[in-house]
Structures are given as C-alpha cells and as structure tokens.
A and B are shown apart, each in its own frame.
Chain A
Amino acid sequence: MRDSAARDLLQAFLGTIVAVLVYSIAGAGAPVLLIVLNAFSVVVLYFSIRRGEVFGAVLGTMCGLAQDAFSLGVFGVAGLTKTLLGFWTGYISRRIDVAPVTRNALFMLVMAFLETALWVLITAAVRLKAVNLHGGLILLQPVVTAALGGALFALERWARARRSRGA
C-alpha cells in the first residue's frame, strides 16, 4: 500500500515535469500561445481519466502549484482548481463511459471550461480585481485543452490498434 502510494507520488511528479516541459517549450516558441494553451490542464485531464480521482487530485496539486510558481498570481489558486479538476475528472470518468472520441473530447471540454471558470472566479475573489480575459481569448483555453487531450487519447488508441495488428 505504502509502495503503491510512493509510486503514485513519483509518477505524479514525473507527470508534473512533463507538464513543465511542454509549457516551457510552448513558451519558448511563442509566449502569447500560453494564453490559450495550458499544458498543466492537458496533463491533469489526460492522467486523471487514465488513473482515477486520487491520482488526479495529487497530480492536479503538483501541476497547479508548478503553474503558480511560474506566475505572479496568488500561489495556490491554480493548485486548488487543478486539484478539483483532477479529482472530479477521475471520479466522473469512472462513472460514465468516456471512451468514444467525441464524448471524450466533449467531457474534457466541459471539465476544462469549469476549471477555467473556477480559476477566474477565485482569482477575482482573492485579488478583488477584474481578471484580465485577454479580450475573450482565454475562453479558447478550454477548447485547446480539450482538443489536445482528445488528440492524445486518439493517438494512444491508434498506437494500441497498430501494435495489436502487428502482434
């Protein structure tokens, strides 16, 4: 039990490093891309669906805190929203069938949108100021997150099908 918890923590940490890598590469390529691409959300969504709510919550905490550490916002806001995102994504995906591609992408879109909305609400409440929505561009973030998450699952499915055909 303790071994599996330690392994989960290590895997969540590795997942966070993957998110930091993707975020850094995107930032190095085009900084403005980071307004619509939240690599941390993509990683949390993808692994929460695969691994369930507890792993999703722990990964969400790590990824959220990493995102906060690289931003001037209040430390912990992204941590909280991503913890909730990871937990509820893992929890709901165990109860409804999210395997079909369209349903999968739609599910991620809804979750990513709720996360963005929660982040905007908490940030506005904590800072007592209106949040900069970049002229509505931030609303594209859930769409891009869902598209990338859906593409990852589609890619995984394609690779698995290819491997089984080869075998």
Chain B
Amino acid sequence: MPFGEKRRSVLVLAGLTVFHILLISVQMPQGAGKSYFERAVFFLFSPVQRVATGAVRGVGSLWNGYFDLRGVRRENQELKKKNFFLTQDVRFLEDRLRFAESESRLRENLAAFEGSIIAARVIGVDSVNPHQSIVIDKGRLDGVDRDMAVCDRNGALVGRTIAPVGLKEAMVQLVTDKDSSVSVESVVDKLTGSMTGRSTGVCDLRYVLASVDGGREGEELRTTGFDKIYPAGIPVGTIKSLERDEASPIFRRIVVTPYFRFDAIDAVAVLTKGPGGGR
C-alpha cells in the first residue's frame, strides 16, 4: 500500500473513532435524552424497517391465508360454540363488576378511555436486545407523543412511548427493559412497589419492605397511576416468586412475569389520554 493511501486510511479511522468517542461523551450528561443526530438516524432508517416488516407480513399472511382457509369451516363451528360460552361469561362478570363497583364509577372509567386508543402495528424490535424496545408504525401525525402507555391486544401493559417519536413511527420502551419503572400494586394483598425490567423475560418488583406481609405467587399486579405515565388499573403481570433478599435486608425480592408476550404483540394499543399522554 502506498504511503499516501495508508495515511488516508489511518486518518479516516482516526477521524471516525474521535467522532464516535465525542458522540458517546456528549450523551453522558443527557442521560436518557436523545440527541438530534440519533433522532435523524432513526427517522432515516425507520421507513426501511416499515417496508421490510410489511413485506414479511404480506408474504406471511398470504401463506397463512391459504392454509387457514382449509380448516376454516371446522374452526368457525368451534368458535361459534366458544363465543356462546364467552358471552355468558362476560355477562356474568359484568354483573359481578356492577355489584363490586357503582355503575356510575364504571361508566366514568370506561369514558376515560373512549376515543383515546390508537391501534398500531409493531414494525421492529430492539436491534441489540428484544426485551428493551419495539418500534410501532404510528407517530406524531397519528397523535402519538412521548410517555403514552402502550398495551397489547389483551389490554396488558407493554410499555410506554419514548423519544424518538417520528412522523409515522415511534419507539416504545418495554416494561422488561432494565431502565423501565412502573408503579404497580398487587390486586389481593395491595403490595405496592416499582416494577423494573431485567432486559430478559422477567421483571422485579422493587421497594416492597421486608416487614410488609402478604403477596402470593400468581397474584396479579396492576398499575397504580402514581408515576403519572401509566393510567391506573392496567394489568401488568403476575408474581412469579417471593423471597427474602439476602443482599438488601430492607426489601423483599419479588420476581414478576409480565403478561405481554413477543408472539402476541404484532398489534398494540397506544393510550393517548393517560396521565402521561400528550406531553
């Protein structure tokens, strides 16, 4: 390699390395904030992701459509039968709910969510760790902004929208991310704490004092709304295990299994009217 060319290579490497080190250093005081440069890169490449995911979904649904048609009649009969029993269950549960809560309160809760749900499709997952974030196909043009709660098709909490929010795409921080924090309460024993992720399939329920009794495996956790981001009452997950924390004798060690599953979050709902919505 001629000397001039070698010098050019070294200069390019040195320049790019310094650029990256500066880029990393600049972010340190910002914490979780996103720089304009990072947002620009996200805006540039997220449409590519949307196209790729759309193509995969298109091929997949075509393939599934063919095979699904073959067993559709039998499935239809089964679904009709199931639907009958589910309708009965819903009526029964509605009666129970009315008994537990006054009807006006029930209407109030339902009205809070009316017209405030945006359906979105998941077009990408975190490039480093799928348990940290996802990208959805709705952005500012659809009314999505930062700090809006995101639920799966069953109404279980998935996470919240964070920067960058593009015109037609937005990033969602999952409840399983290690930097995520959700204020939750167990439905039976009313254990209150902060649920944080581990960037794996499970989460931790933190800051529950060791002196506090109660809580059992399988008990459901719901959001409290204290964090001013997630509306109260959204189911989050169930307690997987409870034990004494050897490392910290003040608090209990509680492991939580979140409800949402990767194989069921192809479609999600963004709640725009929650406490954190429209910031």
Contacts and interface: CB of A to CB of B under 8 A. Distances in A.
A132 B34 CA distance: 22
B232 to A, nearest CB: 26
Given A77-B24, A87-B13, A28 B178 contact: no
A28 B129 contact: no
Interface string A61-99: 100111111111111111110011001000100100000
Contacts of B28: 126
A90 to B, nearest CB: 9
Interface stretch (A19-27, A103-111, A152-160): A19-27
Given A25-B52, A69-B42, A75-B27, A132 B178 contact: yes
Nearest to B35: A75
A126 B24 contact: yes
B1, B28, B49, B128, most chain A CB atoms within 10 A: B128
B110 interface: no
Contact of A70 (B57, B124, B262): B124
A25 B13 contact: no
B127 A23 contact: yes
Interface string A10-45: 000000110011011101110110110000100000
B56 interface: yes
A61 B56 CA distance: 27
Interface string A137-151: 000000000000000
A71 B127 contact: yes
A25 B125 CA distance: 10
Contacts of B262: 31-32
B45 A20 contact: yes
A60 B35 CA distance: 20
A58 interface: yes
Interface string B24-61: 10011000001101100110011011011101110000
B189 interface: no
A79 B35 CA distance: 15
B48 A54 contact: no
B16 interface: yes
B223 interface: no
Given A80-B17, A80-B21, A58 B48 contact: no
Interface in B238-279: 262
Given A27-B130, A32-B262, A57 B12 contact: yes
A34 B52 contact: no
A134 interface: yes
B121 to A, nearest CB: 10
5 contacts: A24-B52, A28-B56, A58-B16, A84-B17, A129-B178
Interface of B: 1, 8-9, 12-13, 16-17, 19-21, 23-24, 27-28, 34-35, 37-38, 41-42, 45-46, 48-49, 51-53, 55-57, 123-130, 132-133, 135, 164, 171, 173, 177-179, 198-200, 262
Interface of A: 16-17, 20-21, 23-25, 27-29, 31-32, 34-35, 40, 53-54, 57-58, 60-61, 64-80, 83-84, 87, 91, 94, 122, 126, 129, 132, 134
